[in-house]
Chains A and B, each alone.
Chain A
Amino acid sequence: MKTLTLLLLAASLDAQVTYNRLLNTAREPQNWLMYSGRYSGWRHSDLNQITRENAGKLKVKWVYQMPTTHLVETTPLVADGVMYFTEPPSNVVAVDVETGKQYWRYRRATPQKVNVCCGQVNRGVALLDDRVFVGTVDAHIVSLDAKTGAVLWDVEVADYTKGYSVTVAPLIVKDMVIVGIAGGEYGIRGFLDAYDAKTGKRRWRLWTIPGPGEKGNETWSGDSWKTGGGSTWVTGSFDPDQNLIIWGVGNPSPDWNGDKRLGDNLFSDSAIGVDADTGKMKWYFQHVPHDVHDWDSVQVPVLVDDEWQGQRRKLVYWAHRNSFYYVLDRESGKFLLGKPFAKQTWASGLDENGRPIRLPNIDPSPEGTYVWPGVQGSTNWYSPSYSPRTRYFYLSAWENRSVYRKGEQEYTPGNRFIGSVPMIDLPDEPGHGAIRALNPKTGERVWEYRLHTKPWAGVLSTAGDVVFGGSDEGYFFALDAHTGKELWRQNTGGMIRANPISFESKGKQVVAIAAGSSIFTYELGQ
C-alpha cells in the first residue's frame, strides 16, 4: 500500500501536460502550454507582476543563441520549468526556464533541396503528456520524448518533393495532433490532418480543396482543384464546447493568375469550422472568393463569448490579410461584421453576407496594378491578442501597397506555381506599420502605436494591462494596453519575426520572444 501511494505521488510530481491541463490553461498562468496560450487564441497572460507602472524596469534575464542562419519564427512553450522551442529548419531545443541552459536538442537532418516559399522556418512545438510534437520542412510530423528529445515516432505528412512542407506549430486536441500544411506557392492540394498522439497513425484528413463530387468542387474550373493550393500553415483555435476546430486556409494556386481556376475557389482564403472527432467541415466563411492577390486567411482565430446585439453569442474575431476586420458567429460561420482596419483600395465594402464588393481594375495585369494592401497584406501570420480586461483586440498592422503583376505559368510538380513575379515592396514607398487596438464589437480603432517600418511580430496582452510587441527594426517594446503609450523598449539587435509569451520562473513573471536568431527573456530588475 505504501509503495502504491509513493508511486502515485511520484506520478503526480512527474508533471505531465495532460489534455485536462490544456483545457484549463487559465488555471496555471505560470506556464505557456500551447502556441496561442489557450485554445481560444487570445495570446493573453493572466500574470500581473509586470504592470503599466513598473514595465520600465524590465531587464534581460537570459538569452539563448541559435546556430542558424534561417529566420526564427518560433513561439516558445513553457511547462513545469522547461522551455521548448524550435530552431529552424526543424530542430527542437529544451532549456531550463530560469537559466536558459540546454537540457537537450533534437537535430533533424533535412534534405538539401526543400521547397519552402518564404524561408525554412518553423513556428513552434506542441506538448501533450510527456511528448513534444514538431512539424518539419520536409513535411513530416515527429514525436519526441519531452525529457530527452529521443524520437518516439516520425511520420510523413506529405511528399516534400511536390512542394509540401510543415512550418506550423501543431495543435493538440484530445489525444490528437492537428497539423496544417504549407505549399500554396507550389500548386499543392491543401488539407488539415489529425494524428494519434501515441502512435502517429492518421485519424482523419480534411481536404481544403474539395475533389469531384464534394461540395465546393464546382467552384474550380476544369482540373484546377488538383493544384488549387489552400494551405493551412498557421495554428488554429479550438472550441471544446462545440468540439470544433477553427482554422484558416491559405491562398489558391497559382497566386496571381486566376484565369485557369475560374470560380470562387472554395475553401481557399476561408475560415473553416471542423468537427474534432470526424474531421468533417461544419461551416466555412470565405473572406476572399477567387483571390488573385495572395491574401491567405492565415490568422489565428480569436474566440470570444460575448453579447452581440443583445444576445449572448459565440463569436470569432478575425483581422484579415485583406485589410478587413471580421466578426463571425462561431456556431454557424455566419458573417456578423466587417470593417477595414487599414487602407485598402480593392473593395467598396462587404455585402450583407460578408462577400467583398470588388472595385474595377484591381486584378494583376501584365503592366502591373497598384493595390492597397500589398502582397503581404495589412496583417499576416503573426498573432493578434485579446485581453478580457480591456476587451480590446490588438494586432500588428501594415500600411503599404504593391504592384501586382500577372504572368503565365504551367504547373510542374515541386516547382513554384504562382503565375507572376509581383513587386512586393516599392523602392520609393516603404510604407509603415503600427500596433493597433480595436474595439472588437465595432472594428473601430481605439489607439495606435506607429512604427517607421512594417512589423512581422505578434502581440501579447497581459493582466498587468501591458501589450508586448516587436519590430523589424529589432525593438521589443511594452505598451499601455489602455492607451498604446510606450512604457519600455529595447533594441535586441535582430529582426523580430515571432510572437511573445509570458510565464513565471521562481515566482517572477518573465516575458520571452525570439529576436534575430535568439530567444530573449525579460523580467523586472530592482
Chain B
Amino acid sequence: MPRHIIFLWAAALCAQDTEVRNPHTTAADVAQGAKTFRSHCSPCHGLNGEGGRGPNLSNGVFYHGSTDADLLRNISDGIAGSEMPGLFYSPDRVWQVVAYLRSLNAGSKPASKESIDAGARLFQSKGCAGCHRVNGEGGRSGPDLSEIGKTRSNEHLRQAMLEPDLDVRQRYWLVSATDAAGGSIIGHLMNEDTWSVQYIDSKGGLHSVSKAGLRGYKVEKRSTMPSYRGRVSDAELGQLIAYLSSLRPTGGSR
C-alpha cells in the first residue's frame, strides 16, 4: 500500500495553512466527495466515516490537525508513521472529500459535562462494566472501551447498543465446541490456524486447544451482548453515547 506521496502543491499550501479555505463546498461537491470517500476511505474509516480500523471522522475531531489545510495535506500525502496512505487525486477531488467530512458533523454540538457524567453512572448501573473495561476497570468479555471515542461515531455506538450482532469484530467471534472428554468449550476467538485455536473464556481464562479432538467446532460471527433496546430510555442512550464518545486517548494524538 502506498504510504505517502508528496505533492508540491500540498507543501505550498501548508506554508500558508491558516489562510487556506476549502474552495469546493457545494452540495454537488459533498456528493462527489462522498463517492470518493466510499471507494477509497471507507475500508478503514467506515462507510459513513464512523471509524473502524482508522479513526472516526464524523465528529469533527481530527488527531493530526483539523484545519482545511491539515485535512488536504493528510488526505493527499497520507500520515507518516500511521497506516494512512495518500490518495491519488487532484486537489479539487481531495477538497470534495474534505467537504464531505465537514458535512458529517454539521449542526452537531458537543455533549455537556452533565450528560457525560450521567452516561458514566449508567455505564456502571446498567451492567456495561461487567463485560467492558475502561482504563483498567471492568470485565474482559467485550471490547476494551478506553479509547472508543476515537474510533467509533455516535451513530455506530448507538447501533452497537441496539443491534450488537450487526458488526462484530473477528476478535469477538464466538468459539464453541465439545472436547474429547465431553467438556464444553466456549469463548471469544483470539487466534486460529489450521490445527489449533486460541480463545478467552468468560472468566478471562486463556486456552489453546488442538482442533483435532474437538466435536461440533464452530466459529460464529455474533455478539454475546444483549440488545439494550427497551432496557434504556432514549435519553439514557444519549447519555451513554456522550460518555463513550468522550473516551479518547490521553497524552496526545495516537
Contact = CB atoms under 8 A, between A and B. Distances in A.
Interface residues of B, number: 21
- Interface SS of chain A: loop
B5 A421 contact: no
A184 to B, nearest CB: 14
A240 interface: no
Interface in A317-375: 365-368
A516 to B, nearest CB: 15
A507 interface: no
A415 B5 contact: yes
B21 interface: no
A450 B39 contact: no
A374 to B, nearest CB: 14
A45 B10 CA distance: 56
B28 to A, nearest CB: 16
Contacts of B43: 403, 421, 423
A428 B221 contact: yes
B87 A421 contact: yes
A408 interface: yes
Given A366-B39, A367-B38, A368-B39, A407 B192 contact: no
A416 B89 CA distance: 12
Interface in A401-416: 403, 405-410, 412, 415-416
A427 interface: yes
Contacts of A418: 2, 88
B35 interface: yes
Contacts, number: 63
Interface string B69-97: 00000000000000001011110010000
A126 to B, nearest CB: 31
Contact of A475 (B2, B35, B170, B193): B193
A215 interface: no
Contact of A407 (B5, B88, B170): B88
Contacts of A427: 170
Given A450-B194, A453-B194, A419 B88 contact: yes
A421 B193 CA distance: 28
Contacts of B88: 407-409, 416, 418-421
A451 interface: yes
A120 interface: no
B9 to A, nearest CB: 12
Nearest to A451: B194
A397 to B, nearest CB: 14
A452 interface: yes
A383 interface: no
Contacts of B93: 408
A112 B194 CA distance: 39
B193 A416 contact: no
A415 B5 CA distance: 7
Interface of B: 1-2, 5, 35-36, 38-40, 43, 85, 87-90, 93, 170, 192-195, 221
The 5 A-B residue pairs whose C-beta atoms are closest, nearest first, are A473-B193, A409-B88, A452-B194, A416-B2, A366-B39
